[in-house]
Structure 1
Amino acid sequence: MPKTKFQDVIFTIMMVLVMVYAMVVYNISMDMGGVTGKAFVLAFGELWLMGLVAFVLEMFLAGPLAKKLAFRFVTPGEDKLIFVILAISAMTVCVMCPMMSFVATALFKGVNASLIPNWIQTTALNFPMALCWQIFFAGPLVRMIFGKMFPEK
């Protein structure tokens, strides 16, 4: 877990890259009717914009809000670390998924009379993938790499 602001920025960049890339591949694959090698290549084209949006949202809005929500259920220092991590991760997905789904819907499906229904559908399709990807893959992977970069003393 990050201990300084610098570490928090590095951790956020790493998590954003892993989460956003996977979610962009997922959404491209949904649009294409299935996962293909082309989806993995096309995702790099969207990664810079969606990654930048996700970083800004996470650092200034979603991250603080997710922690505030998580700390209604768990108390750092009192509860087991795994429960604190899972609470923060789950609340981050609960906050970020609707926001990023809105951005993606507006950018890729257009701002029109169907924006809200399209956003709700996109969020509903993205949420299970985002939650599972975060809890079972991205979160553990990024924390492992981060832990090797910044070993606790």
Structure 2
Amino acid sequence: MPKTKIQGVVFGLIMSYAMAYGMEVYNVAIKEGFNLNIGGFSTMTNHVFLDALIEASYMGIFVFITSSLWGNRIGAAFAARHTNPETDNPYFCRVMRQAGTVAIMCPTMSMIASILFNVILAHQPICNLPAIWVGTVIKNLPMAFFWNMFAAAPFTHWLFGKIFPEKK
């Protein structure tokens, strides 16, 4: 885990872009017609990964800014309210902090994405924004939670450990 301000920024950037890329792959794939209907047949093509990389290049900035301003703080407060680092398993404490952060960041980023992709780029009326936002949160929250728990956070911790190895 980060011990200095620079390490905190590096950790935050890695996590922000890991989350942004994973969520963009998910959303671009859905936009292109991929679905998870059981029994249905859908294909996903390789261009999804490039399109997602392009979108993640600027969405990662939004993730970094919003997580730095309030997402990480509220996630830490959630964990502090529901865990005790003195008695609880450290992994449980970390998972609770991740859950608290995702619970704030998903609605925040869903609002940003709804405004950017639907209102500004797709020219949908702003009066539809509440419905677009709620639909986006419903679609993204499960993916954001599991992507964070099982992909983005482990990758971020692994890469951060490679960049800043612990001195023994």
Please indicate, yes or no, whether the TM-score normalized by the shorter chain is above 0.5: yes
1:83 is matched with which residue: 62, 80, 92?
92
SS where residue 72 of structure 1 aligns? helix
- Aligned-partner Cα distance in 1 for 2:108–2:114: 10
1:41 is matched with which residue: 38, 44, 50?
50
Number of aligned positions between the proteins: 153
The alpha-carbon deviation at position 90 of structure 1 amounts to 0.8
- List per-residue Cα deviations over 1:93-151 (Å, max 9, x = no partner): 10100000110011111152211111001101100001001111111121122122222
Query: 48-57 or 95-104: which moved more?
Result: 48-57
Answering whether residue 158 of structure 2 is matched by residue 149 of structure 1, we say: no
SS where residue 3 of structure 2 aligns? coil
1:129 is matched with which residue: 130, 136, 143?
143
| Structure 1: unaligned runs, 5 residues or longer | none
- Aligned-partner Cα distance in 2 for 1:113–1:37: 35
Partner of 1:10: 10
- Aligned-partner Cα distance in 1 for 2:45–2:107: 26
Answering whether residue 117 of structure 2 is matched by residue 108 of structure 1, we say: yes
RMSD of the TM alignment (CA)? Answer: 1.3
- List per-residue Cα deviations over 1:64-85 (Å, max 9, x = no partner): 1110111101133442210111
TM-score by length of 1: 0.94
- List per-residue Cα deviations over 1:23-42 (Å, max 9, x = no partner): 01111111111132121111
The alpha-carbon deviation at position 6 of structure 1 amounts to 1.2
User: Runs of at least 4 residues of structure 1 off by over 3 A?
Assistant: none
| Structure 2: unaligned runs, 5 residues or longer | 35-43, 120-124
Answering whether residue 38 of structure 2 is matched by residue 24 of structure 1, we say: no
- Aligned-partner Cα distance in 1 for 2:15–2:145: 13
Partner of 2:40: none
